[in-house]
Amino acid sequence: MSKKDKLHALIKVMTPSEKRAFKIFANRHVIGQKNNYVKLFDSLDKQKEYDEDALIKSLGGLKYAKYLSADKYYLYGLTLNSLDSFHSNSSIDNKLHRQLHFIEVLFEKGLYGQAGKLMEKCKKLAETHDKYEELLRIKHWEREIVMRQGTPEGLVVFLENHYQEVHQILKVLTNRYMYHTTADRIFALHKTKGMARSPQDLEAYHKLYNKELLDNEAGALCYDAKRLLYASRMFYFHATGEVNKSHEARRKLVQLIEGNPERMKAHIRSYIYALNNLLISCILTRNELEFHEVLSKLTSIPDHIPSTSLTQDMRVRIFESRYIHETDFLIKFARFKEGAQLCDQIEQELENIIDQVDHAFLLTLYNNMMVLYFGAGEYKKALKWLNLILNERTGDTREDIMCYARIINLIIHYELNNHLILPYLLRSTYRYLSQKKPPLKYERLVMDTMRKILRTRNPEALPGLLSSLRDKLLPLADDPFERIMTEDLNLIAWLESKVSDTTYAEIAANQT
């Protein structure tokens, strides 16, 4: 996304319905210069990439240039106000916000009876959707109204009940906060470290696992607390290698959401997120039937919600989840030719939304596409997607992914016979891994073997070197800190293909 033009970026992600609503909104709220702002809006909408010179030319040339900055600033605010109006009742939060404002207006006008009736409706909506912060504000207005209208006899009883209810709301909020804190800490470590790669990583995860909270489902006092409990378990057990426990937590999270239809409808993103994570563990547990059932739920979401509720962000999230898991599924079941064809399709669709795709998802997609092209024997295409990972700033990407990518980089260049560049890449990889922490055993073994390959002048010695590496890696395959070498691009299967003079795809298929 271009940093120099936020207005263009905003307009380009608006739906056709939102753009039509803007035209109506501008007609109602702009006096005198309506046509100028609509023309500027349309000109920006027509540009695929922002081009200020072309924009000025389309709007009247240099004489307009001095007004452009001010007009864009005003149009940006006008567009946001239009979107606010268009989506005013599109979420529970928006509805509650507006109703609370109406209660305040009626109260200030002295219409306490009307304010009280609206407050009861607002309270029911907030209770249905566990909106506890809003319930506190509602309780505030309830107290204010009773203090103005209530009888002296009933006031004492009301206040006693009132503060008991407020205390209960605060208790639930505190409980939810505790689960939120635990979930956020586990998620942050998982996003940074990924799978535990060392006893130190494992210990870091163990310290964050609050057994009193996470082993006690009955202790979660509201829907959100339960959701956070399952999310915490999901990430923790995934990081520590307890796949079946992680899968069970993901399944329970989906069941929780599906068991609350109103919450699911109001929070489609959370449902997409939960399905996304369940798809991951379906693949890890090799549950093909459940995988296709869950994928069907994901792809059918647009068919079950109003088009006005299906935002561009939701469409992008569905795109991410669908293709990441379809590619991952094809990798795990060694369907590389089919996967390479899917990658060609993904690349075309990705071009139009790449700026909107989540960074972590994008890197995962790049990795999956690299593996599928590698398995299909299309090494140049595999290298293209691997380079996109390697070119990322290190601090923005999980450490385990970056270490793994550098090892695979050596393998792909070896397959491409890029022997002139391999010595440099080998030194660079060694320096990178040494700076992070002592390399994993498989990383060091691959680098040592690659160094021997580069030094040998006898081609007949290569099978022996590769066979020796395979034999050294085999005992490491069950090590939880080393098994990343077999999870996506299986190094042992690749070595077996080199030694047996067959294709990687055939070896991988036999191991599924």
CA-nearest of 89, 143, 91, 95 to 115 is: 143
Residue 65 lies in a domain: yes
- Rounded to an integer, the average pLDDT of 206-211 is 95
Count of domains observed in the chain = 2
Contact present, 333 and 512 (Cβ < 8 Å): yes
Final residue belonging to a domain, choices 86, 104, 125? 86
> pLDDT exceeding 90 applies to what percent of the chain?
61
Contact present, 374 and 383 (Cβ < 8 Å): no
Residue 440 lies in a domain: yes
| Distance from C-alpha of 507 to C-alpha of 512, rounded to nearest angstrom | 9
Reported confidence tier of residue 2, pLDDT bands at 50, 70, 90? very low
pLDDT of residue 469: 95
From residue 510, alpha-carbon distances to 119, 332, 377, 456 in Å are 65, 11, 17, 32
Final residue belonging to a domain, choices 49, 64, 86? 86
pLDDT of residue 33: 57
Residue 99 lies in a domain: no
Residue 72 lies in a domain: yes
Residue predicted with more confidence, 382 or 155: 382
Residue 399 belongs to what H/E stretch? helix 399-415
Residue 409 has pLDDT above 70, yes or no: yes
Reported confidence tier of residue 32, pLDDT bands at 50, 70, 90? low
- Rounded to an integer, the average pLDDT of 370-396 is 90
- Rounded to an integer, the average pLDDT of 62-66 is 71
User: Widest CA span of the chain, in angstroms?
Assistant: 102
Q: Taking the model in full, what pTM does it have?
A: 0.63
pLDDT for 161-178, tens place per residue? 999 999 999 999 999 999
Give the domain extent around 46: 6-86
Q: Is 279 helix (H, G, I), strand (E, B) or coil?
A: helix
Residue 205 has pLDDT above 50, yes or no: yes
pLDDT of residue 445: 94
pLDDT for 267-295, tens place per residue? 888 899 899 899 999 998 999 999 999 99
Residue 365 lies in a domain: no
Reported confidence tier of residue 63, pLDDT bands at 50, 70, 90? low
| Distance from C-alpha of 218 to C-alpha of 179, rounded to nearest angstrom | 13
Residue 151 has pLDDT above 80, yes or no: no
DSSP 114-183: HHHHHHHHHHHHHHHTT-HHHHHHHHHHHHHHHHHH--HHHHHHHHHHHHHHHHHHHHHHHHHHHHHHHH
Final residue belonging to a domain, choices 27, 60, 86? 86
Contact present, 89 and 70 (Cβ < 8 Å): no
CA-nearest of 490, 504, 492, 501 to 336 is: 504
CA-nearest of 216, 218, 238, 220 to 228 is: 220
- Rounded to an integer, the average pLDDT of 361-374 is 94
| Distance from C-alpha of 274 to C-alpha of 271, rounded to nearest angstrom | 5
pLDDT of residue 1: 38
DSSP 68-87: HHHHHHHHHHHHHHHHHHHT
pLDDT of residue 327: 96
Q: Is 330 helix (H, G, I), strand (E, B) or coil?
A: helix
From residue 430, alpha-carbon distances to 136, 185, 189 in Å are 57, 31, 25
Residue 385 has pLDDT above 90, yes or no: yes
Residue 183 has pLDDT above 90, yes or no: yes
Mean pLDDT (the chain, rounded): 90
- Phi and psi for 2 in degrees, rounded to 5? -70, 130
| Distance from C-alpha of 457 to C-alpha of 224, rounded to nearest angstrom | 64
Residue 509 lies in a domain: yes
Residue 412 lies in a domain: yes
Residue 113 lies in a domain: no
Residue 96 has pLDDT above 50, yes or no: yes
- Please state, as a whole number, how many other Cβ atoms lie within 10 Å of the Cβ of residue 259: 10
- Rounded to an integer, the average pLDDT of 8-26 is 89
| Distance from C-alpha of 199 to C-alpha of 183, rounded to nearest angstrom | 21
**Among 91-100, 220-229, 234-243, the least confident range:** 91-100
Q: Quick one: DSSP state of residue 489?
A: S
Reported confidence tier of residue 308, pLDDT bands at 50, 70, 90? low
Most confident of 69-73, 268-272, 303-307, 450-454: 450-454
- Rounded to an integer, the average pLDDT of 75-104 is 88
